[in-house]
């Protein structure tokens, strides 16, 4: 096996998938800046008193669409596979993005388009961690799983700088907001077209009995055939055989088994924890938050560098740390750092309250901005990447679709709640908003210590033993059955090669 070719193909596959994460993040970041533009307000004809409501609705309606999408994504991908599910998500998102870009002069039409785009984004966020986890080698699964958050930070950073460019370089006219909104179609198109050149998930094919196609998929993503690849395929088939024997005839009721109930609890609480860190709120409303701590007229420029910090810190984590420090330590350390930094911001803002009319950054404001930058770095080395990585890797092959759908639906539900609450909290609580998030982060340190099991370096088929599911652990009979199935797949693969040559 060509390890270099296999590594390249694995990173390429996950990179193409994670364009969907870039898309989600770009949409997340762009809307906060667009809603501050006078040109957008003029075209959609709402008053200054309605600004906060429009901001909340524009974000929360996208999340509402994403939340409901999670529930029909699970049966769709179980039947039609990962590739076509992601391609469909891309197409739906692009329809919504086109309508958002049209100057309809009706905020209701914009809201409806946000819901449609949300459906596409919701589907993508279920599929990407699933596809990535199923195709990644176990020794680099942490790095590949963390790419979801890395592309997210790239999308947020891009959105901030696009917002800054159009607000400073273009006049207050329709194209000022249409350009950033319309640019969503670029990653949306790349995601859909990219699915046409990738193989289907090995584990999805194997679970459906398509063993020859599964073997071809695994050989492609590992860079060639070898004893190591055949051993991995045997392990995959044995794991599926053990699950089928233990749970045959069950569907969603498998989630009621003790080990699966616990895993559902973990992903639900972990995704709630992501929102409790406060970083989703900062991503959506960065310009408003930086104005609260004293950024003055530089709020969009400060937001741009905020995006750079996220990209750099997430890259450092996935390149050097994720496979060294593990999931549990990353979550505990990140929550402690975020809580401490949020507390400092709360104290600085409370004791050195910025003037609403200030146009320049005060020393206290600069210190608060620095703390928020460091807090964002801590998040992108902990809860940001690890939450998606962990959600994608802890379920069995039979329960992965519904398990990830439940976790992702939770993420979108609480994303919705916090997007509704944040602008009102910033308006009404001021510095106490940061104190609230500091308390939440302190609680998350305890949560990670008590709840999270370490999964670093383990194969997906090892998760049954790790989470105490004795019924579906592999035995000698499962290995023997898997080897038998693999022999048939190898013969079919060889005969197809002979026919192709003939």
DSSP codes of every residue in 396-427: -TTTHHHHHHHHHHHHHHHHHHHHHHHHHHHH
Tell me the HSE value of 200 on the side-chain side, using a 13 A CA sphere: 21
pLDDT value at 476 more than 50: no
The DSSP output letter for 136 is: S
Concatenate the DSSP letters of all residues of 37-93 into one string.
-HHHHHHHT--GGGHHHHHHHHHHHHHHHHHHHHHHHHHHHHHH-HHHHHHHHHHHH
Residue 40 pLDDT grade (very low, low, confident, very high; cuts 50, 70, 90): very high
- CA nearest neighbour of 222 among 302, 289, 96, 138: 138
Q: What average pLDDT score do residues 439-452 get?
A: 97
Give the CA distances from residue 464 to residues 456, 477, 480, in Å, rounded to whole numbers and listed in that order.
14, 17, 19
Q: How far is the C-alpha of 465 from the C-alpha of 450, rounded, in Å?
A: 19
Q: How far is the C-alpha of 347 from the C-alpha of 430, rounded, in Å?
A: 11
217-220, long-range: CB within 8 Å, 24+ apart, which pairs?
217/135, 220/9
Residue 304 pLDDT grade (very low, low, confident, very high; cuts 50, 70, 90): confident
Q: What average pLDDT score do residues 176-187 get?
A: 94
Better-scored residue on pLDDT, 36 or 80: 80
> What's the mean per-residue pLDDT of the chain?
85
pLDDT value at 497 more than 70: no
Give the CA distances from residue 407 to residues 34, 126, 325, 372, in Å, rounded to whole numbers and listed in that order.
30, 9, 24, 27
pLDDT value at 305 more than 90: no
pLDDT value at 419 more than 90: no
- CA nearest neighbour of 14 among 140, 120, 203: 140
Q: How far is the C-alpha of 431 from the C-alpha of 150, rounded, in Å?
A: 29
Percentage with pLDDT > 70 across the chain: 85
Scored b (16 or more CB within 10 A) or e, 424-451 reads: ebbeeebbebbbebbebbbebbebbeee
pLDDT value at 479 more than 80: no
Q: What average pLDDT score do residues 112-140 get?
A: 92
pLDDT at res. 15 = 94
pLDDT value at 428 more than 50: yes
Q: Maximum distance among all alpha carbons in the chain?
A: 81
pLDDT at res. 501 = 45
- DSSP 3-state helix, strand, coil percentages of the chain (rounded to 5)? 85, 0, 15
Determine phi and psi for 262, rounding to 5 degrees: -65, -40
**Domains in the chain with CATH codes:** 3-198+249-468 (1.20.1250.20), 201-248+470-502 (no CATH)
Q: How far is the C-alpha of 252 from the C-alpha of 340, rounded, in Å?
A: 41
First to last CA, the chain: 26
Scored b (16 or more CB within 10 A) or e, 187-224 reads: bbbbbbebbeebbbbbbbbbbeebbbbbbbbbbbbbbe
């Amino acid at each position: 096996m060509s390890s270099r070719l296999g590594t390249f193909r694995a990173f390429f596959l996950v990179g193409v998938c994670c364009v969907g994460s870039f898309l989600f993040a770009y949409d997340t970041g762009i809307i906060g800046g667009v809603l501050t533009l006078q040109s957008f307000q003029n075209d959609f004809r709402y008053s200054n008193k309605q600004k906060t409501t429009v901001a909340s609705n524009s974000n929360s309606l996208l999340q509402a669409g994403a939340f409901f999408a999670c529930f029909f994504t699970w049966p769709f991908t179980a039947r039609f596979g990962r590739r076509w599910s992601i391609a469909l998500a891309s197409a739906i998102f692009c329809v919504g993005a086109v309508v958002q870009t049209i100057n309809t002069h009706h905020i209701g039409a914009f809201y409806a388009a946000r819901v449609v785009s949300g459906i596409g984004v919701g589907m993508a966020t279920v599929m990407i961690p699933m596809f990535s986890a199923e195709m990644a080698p176990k020794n680099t699964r942490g790095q590949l799983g963390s790419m979801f958050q890395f592309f997210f930070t790239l999308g947020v950073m891009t959105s901030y700088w696009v917002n800054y460019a159009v607000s400073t370089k273009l006049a207050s006219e329709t194209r000022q907001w249409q350009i950033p909104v319309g640019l969503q179609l670029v990653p949306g198109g790349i995601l859909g077209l990219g699915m046409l050149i990738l193989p289907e998930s090995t584990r999805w094919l194997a679970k459906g009995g398509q063993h020859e196609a599964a073997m071809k998929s695994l050989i492609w993503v590992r860079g060639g055939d070898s004893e190591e690849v055949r051993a991995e395929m045997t392990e995959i088939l044995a794991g599926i055989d053990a699950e089928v024997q233990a749970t045959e005839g069950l569907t969603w009721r498998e989630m009621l088994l003790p080990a699966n109930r616990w895993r559902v609890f973990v992903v639900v609480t972990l995704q709630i924890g992501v929102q409790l860190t406060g970083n989703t709120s900062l991503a959506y409303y960065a310009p408003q938050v930086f104005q609260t701590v004293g950024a003055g007229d530089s709020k969009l420029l400060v937001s741009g560098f905020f995006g750079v910090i996220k990209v750099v810190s997430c890259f450092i984590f996935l390149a050097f740390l994720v496979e060294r420090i593990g999931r549990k330590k990353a979550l505990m350390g990140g929550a402690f750092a975020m809580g401490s930094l949020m507390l400092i911001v709360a104290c600085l803002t409370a004791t050195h309250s910025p003037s609403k009319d200030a146009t320049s950054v005060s020393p206290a404001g600069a210190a608060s901005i620095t703390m928020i930058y460091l807090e964002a770095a801590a998040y992108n080395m902990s809860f940001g990447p690890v939450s998606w990585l962990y959600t994608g890797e802890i379920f069995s092959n039979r329960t992965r679709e519904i398990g990830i759908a439940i976790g992702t639906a939770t993420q979108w539900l609480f994303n919705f709640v916090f997007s509704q609450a944040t602008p009102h909290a910033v308006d009404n609580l001021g510095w106490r908003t940061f104190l609230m998030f500091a308390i939440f982060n302190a609680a998350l340190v305890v949560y990670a210590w008590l709840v999270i099991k370490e999964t670093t370096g383990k194969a997906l088929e090892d998760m049954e033993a790790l989470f105490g599911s004795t019924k579906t652990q592999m035995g000698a009979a499962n290995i023997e059955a898997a080897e038998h199935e693999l022999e048939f797949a190898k013969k079919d693969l060889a005969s197809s090669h002979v026919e192709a040559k003939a």
